[in-house]
């Protein structure tokens, strides 16, 4: 099996897992898990927490609204410079497609947001899957996979940290259940792998004609 086929198959399995998780959580599965993790991580205003709330709100702000697309544009431009317009376009398309899919799934599953403690960020949509987690996973995971090997590993470490912190911030701010974030990570990863599969497939096609083409 070729690399592109393996990537695409993994992406499909992850997407199927997102759907399965959506049905499970709306049926009440993982309720105890969500409650336990949420209680352990939820923040409430206080002298010792105010600074952390501000940090988490800042991280969440980066992952939402127009600013997330500004970041996508910057990363896409970097990839365009390093790897060409095709790779940059793959990131842009995957980001938009995952955002649309996340919105559709939110409306379909219509899961209520957490109400254990007061919410510390503005919300206007159902909970599952987390759009912030989806966006972070597709953008930064794809960036990790596509950034040239010669680049400093700090690029990859920073991207991996953003994936984790973005999801964690949504739980800490009391606006998502842990399974919302897990579902978002899986959804974003599935679109990142789909984009990587397309890039790999195109490279395999070129390699069949010219063996000197660099592997993915």
Query: Per-residue pLDDT tens for 60-95?
Result: 998 888 888 898 888 888 888 888 888 889 889 999
Burial class (CB in 10 A: 0-12, 13-18, 19+), 114: buried
| Residue 134 confidence (pLDDT) | 97
**What does the DSSP 8-state code read for residue 140?**
H
Among 15-19, 113-117, 178-182, name the one with the lowest average pLDDT. Answer: 113-117
pLDDT grade for 104, boundaries at 50, 70 and 90: very high
Whether 213 has a pLDDT exceeding 80, the answer reads no
Question: SS3 of 28, please?
Answer: coil
Question: Which residue would you say has higher pLDDT here, 117 or 130?
Answer: 130
Region 163-174: mean pLDDT is: 93
Task: Quickly count: other Cβ atoms within 10 Å of residue 127's Cβ.
Answer: 25
Could you give the count of Cα atoms lying within 13 Å of 179 in the half-sphere of its Cβ?
A: 25
Give the pLDDT score at 51. 83
Per-residue model confidence (pLDDT) at position 39: 86
pTM: 0.90
% of the chain at pLDDT higher than 70 = 90
Domain boundaries, the chain: 3-207
**Is pLDDT above 60 for 45?**
no
Q: What is the pLDDT of residue 152?
A: 65
Going by pLDDT thresholds of 50, 70 and 90, the confidence category of residue 215 is low
DSSP letter string, 174-188: TSS-HHHHHHHHHHH
Q: 83-91: long-range contacts at Cβ-Cβ below 8 A with a sequence spacing of 24 or more?
A: 83/146, 83/148, 86/199, 86/202, 87/146, 87/199, 90/142, 90/146, 90/195, 90/196, 90/198, 90/199, 91/139, 91/142, 91/143, 91/146, 91/195
Q: Looking at the predicted structure, is the pLDDT value of residue 44 above 80?
A: no
């Amino acid at each position: 099996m070729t690399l592109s086929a393996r990537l695409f198959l993994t992406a499909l399995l992850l997407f199927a897992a997102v759907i399965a998780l959506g049905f499970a959580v709306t049926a009440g599965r993982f309720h105890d898990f969500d409650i336990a993790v949420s209680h352990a991580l939820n923040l409430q205003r206080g002298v010792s927490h105010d600074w952390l709330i501000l940090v988490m709100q800042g991280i969440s702000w980066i992952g939402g609204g127009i600013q997330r697309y500004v970041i996508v544009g910057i990363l896409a431009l970097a990839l365009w410079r390093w790897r060409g317009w095709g790779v940059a376009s793959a990131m842009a398309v995957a980001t938009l497609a995952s955002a649309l899919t996340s919105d559709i799934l939110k409306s379909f599953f219509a899961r209520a947001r957490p109400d254990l403690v007061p919410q510390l960020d503005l919300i206007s949509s159902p909970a599952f899957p987390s759009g912030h987690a989806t966006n972070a996973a597709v953008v930064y995971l794809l960036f990790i996979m596509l950034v040239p090997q010669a680049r400093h590993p700090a690029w990859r470490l920073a991207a991996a940290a953003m994936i984790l912190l973005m999801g964690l911030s949504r739980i800490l701010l009391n606006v998502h259940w842990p399974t919302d974030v897990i579902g978002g990570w899986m959804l974003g990863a599935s679109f990142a792998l789909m984009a990587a599969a397309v890039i790999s497939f195109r490279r395999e096609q070129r390699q069949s004609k010219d063996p000197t083409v660099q592997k993915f």
